[in-house]
Amino acid sequence: MSGCATHVDHGKSMARSEATSRFTVRQGAAYNRAYRVKGRVYRPLASAKGYRERGIASWYGEESGRRTAMGTRFDPHGLSAAHRTLPLPTRVRVTNLGNRRSIILVVNDRGPFIDGRLIDLSRGAAKALRLNGLGRVEVEALD
């Protein structure tokens, strides 16, 4: 699913990738059930409807070729993200609050598992947002 996102928005209208519209949330899927990491239990949301949150984003990319929580191969140069509780897959708009750059991408993995972080972006998504290291973002679910 990485690489299924659309494009960077600079205040212009958003185009929607035909590929991302085909993905639907499977509530019974293993990746949408409660899970435990480092002794902490996470319960994915039943729906992403109305989800909007601001917080700290980081990026990851050393996991190239490994499987995401959904079982797809992670592409660090693609446009994807990891979130602890959004149902998988969920299309989101991520806006860099420092420069107002925005992209639409698919959350297809779990994480980040570091306190204080809201979302982990693929290296490609971070680059599109011009996010170096950590940055404040707004995440809005579109599905």
Once rounded to an integer, what is the mean pLDDT over residues 6-29? 48
* Range(s) of the domain holding residue 20: 8-141
Q: pLDDT tens digits for 79-132?
A: 999 999 999 999 999 999 999 999 999 999 999 999 999 999 999 999 999 999
Question: Is 1 contained in some domain?
Answer: no
Q: Give me the DSSP letters along the chain.
A: -TT----EESSSPPP--TTGGG----TTSGGGS-EEETTEEE---S--TT-EEEEEEEEE-TTTT-B-TTSPBP-TTSSEEE-SSSPSSEEEEEEETTT--EEEEEEEE----STTEEEEEEHHHHHHTT--SSEEEEEEE--
Question: Is 56 contained in some domain?
Answer: yes
**Domain tally for the chain?**
1
Question: Is 50 contained in some domain?
Answer: yes
- pLDDT bin (cut points 50, 70, 90) of residue 28 is confident
Q: Residue 45 belongs to a domain with what CATH number?
A: 2.40.40.10
- Higher pLDDT residue, 27 or 69? 69
